[in-house]
Amino acid sequence: MVLADMSLGVIPARLAATSRHIQGFITGGTTANPTANQVLAYHCVCVPGVIRIVIAAAVSTAAATPTIMDVRKNGTSVWTDPARRPTLPTGQSGVFTSYPPDNGSLVPGDLVTLVVVQAGNVDVAMTVAIEEP
């Protein structure tokens, strides 16, 4: 299967078009019921980089709310529009719809946090690729 043929929301074309030299990953998750504002991972940047690719996935439950994730740099979301944060609609499993960050530039000393903003699923995980600037 070619990556561009995979059905992952808006991610495939972006992956093929923007993936460059990946420096590393920040990843986090939980197999228990997450809570609102739960931190899944915390990372201190040591070399300049850029976040271009963010992917999240979850297992569905009977929850009545969508699951929303966020990547925060120094406490502020990397998306200027909250509606563009990774979101999985109510009652669904799989890969979240995700958009490129608006503010993905990183410098040494930046603190990057992966956060569950709104919990509606269990078994949630998120990975951020840090690429060369």
pLDDT (0 to 100) of residue 44: 97
pLDDT (0 to 100) of residue 33: 84
Question: DSSP character for 37?
Answer: T
pLDDT (0 to 100) of residue 45: 96
pLDDT (0 to 100) of residue 62: 67
Which CATH number describes the domain made up of 3-131? 2.60.120
> pLDDT of the chain along its 133 residues, tens only?
333 334 444 445 555 555 568 999 999 999 888 899 999 999 999 999 999 899 999 987 667 789 999 999 999 999 999 999 999 988 888 899 889 999 999 999 999 999 999 988 778 999 999 999 8
Q: How many angstroms separate the CA atoms of 113 and 31, rounded?
A: 18
Q: Where are the domains positioned within the chain?
A: 3-131
Tell me the Ramachandran region of residue 117: left when phi exceeds 0, alpha when psi lies from -120 to 50, beta otherwise: alpha
pTM attached to this predicted model: 0.84
Three-point CA angle 14, 18, 20, nearest 5°: 145
